[in-house]
Amino acid sequence: MAQHPDGESQQPVEPAGAATPAPPPRPGLSYAAPAPIVVIPPAPQSVRLARTFWLLSFVAGLAVLVGSFLTRDSHLERLRTVVDQMSPGGGPDAVTTSAAIVFWGSLGALLLVMLFEAAALAIFSARRGWSRWLLIPLLAGQVMVMVVAADFLLPEGDAGSYVVMLWGAQLLLAFFGLVAVFVPSAGGWLKAARTPSAQVRPTRTRQ
């Protein structure tokens, strides 16, 4: 870079007639509408209550299953007597196998129903309205499974009364949860998932 005699730098001077670079082209206009903005409303109180009721119902049902598993030896011994009375003359191995099938089959059926109910509740929480109709036959099936399993999982004495109370609480809580998913506020929350609540008007944007 050239300098003056006094030491100051001198800026270069473009020669006369030099062509200046052309400015960049201006961007065009786009009339495409932007994606709609969907506002997801929070879950109403009825939906929150439904989840709470169902979760408490699962806790009561799991308490029965865990208690039955921890006392399985006494259950199996009692069931051996029941099976022997129902089909006398069977061998000890056959009686033991039948008692085990009845006991574990009853526990498995109760657990399977609760797993289906938990799956339906998860689908409902994902705002799929058809899942709440699925809870009705599941709850009815749970009642029937309990009636059948009561002959095999209901111990004698105070322990049996505790099982009855837990089962009663489980069904009552599940019924309250079922009612809560059908109230109008829960229906509106489900409908909002299918209808965008807010959209942006098409605007001219530069590309």
What's the rounded mean pLDDT across residues 25-40? 61
200 confidence band (pLDDT: 50, 70, 90): very low
pLDDT at 59: 96
Confirm whether pTM is higher than 0.85: no
CA atoms within 13 A on the CB side of 108: 6
Least confident of 37-46, 147-156, 167-176: 37-46
Max mean pLDDT among 3-7, 163-167, 188-192 falls in 163-167
* pLDDT (mean) for 15-38: 62
How many domains does the chain divide into?
A: 1
Residue 180 domain flag: yes
Residue 179 domain flag:
yes
- Would you say residue 39 lies in a domain? no
Q: Return the pLDDT at 89.
A: 66
What whole-number distance in Å separates Cα of residue 83 and Cα of residue 99? 7
Residue of 197 and 130 predicted with greater confidence: 130
**Mean pLDDT computed over 109-128:** 94
Q: What is the DSSP letter of 150?
A: H
Q: How many CB atoms lie within 10 A of CB 141?
A: 15
Domain span at 174: 50-71+111-192
Tell me which DSSP letter residue 205 carries.
E
Q: Give residue 199's pLDDT.
A: 39
If pLDDT is split at 50, 70 and 90, which confidence band does 188 have?
A: confident
3-state secondary structure of 201: coil
